[in-house]
Amino acid sequence: MIRTQIAIPTLVRVKPGAAGRVGLYARRHGFNEIVVLHSADLHMDLMQRLCDGLKAEDIGVLHRWPVQEASFEQARELFPRIPARTRAIIGYGGGKALDVAKYVAFLTRLPYIAVPTSLSNDGFCSPQSSLTLEGRRKSLPSAMPFGVALDTEICLAAPEILWLSGVGDLVAKLTAVADWKLAFNAVGTLVDDFAALLSDATVFQFIARPTRDIEGVRLLGTSLMLNGIAMEVCGSSRPASGSEHLISHALDSLGGKPRMHGLQVGVAAYLVSLLQGQNSAVIADLFDRTGFWNAVAADPFRRGDWLEALRRAPSIKQDFYTVLSSRDCLPEADQFLRTDPHLQRCVTD
pTM score of the predicted model:
0.94
Which residues lie below 8 Å from residue 209, measured CB to CB, with a gap of 6+? 215, 216, 219
Task: Give the tens place of pLDDT for each residue, 286-311.
Answer: 999 999 999 999 999 999 999 999 99
The CA dihedral of 278, 125, 136, 302, to the nearest 10 degrees, is 40
Domain segments of the chain: what residues? 11-156, 160-348
Task: Give the tens place of pLDDT for each residue, 114-171.
Answer: 999 999 999 999 999 989 888 777 889 898 999 999 999 999 999 999 999 999 999 9
Whether 4 shows a pLDDT value over 70: the answer reads no
Residue 102 near residue 143 (C-beta atoms within 8 A): yes
As beta bridge partners, residue 39 has 67
Amino acid code (one letter) for 195: A
Q: How far is 279 from 16, CA to CA, in rounded Å?
A: 33
Domain 160-348, second-level architecture: Up-down Bundle (1.20)
Residue 50 near residue 22 (C-beta atoms within 8 A): yes
Strands 11-15, 347-348: pairing is unpaired
Which residues lie below 8 Å from residue 324, measured CB to CB, with a gap of 6+? 243, 246, 275, 310, 313, 314
- CATH 1.10.3860.10 at 11-156, yes or no: no
Task: Give the tens place of pLDDT for each residue, 48-76.
Answer: 999 999 999 999 999 999 999 999 999 99
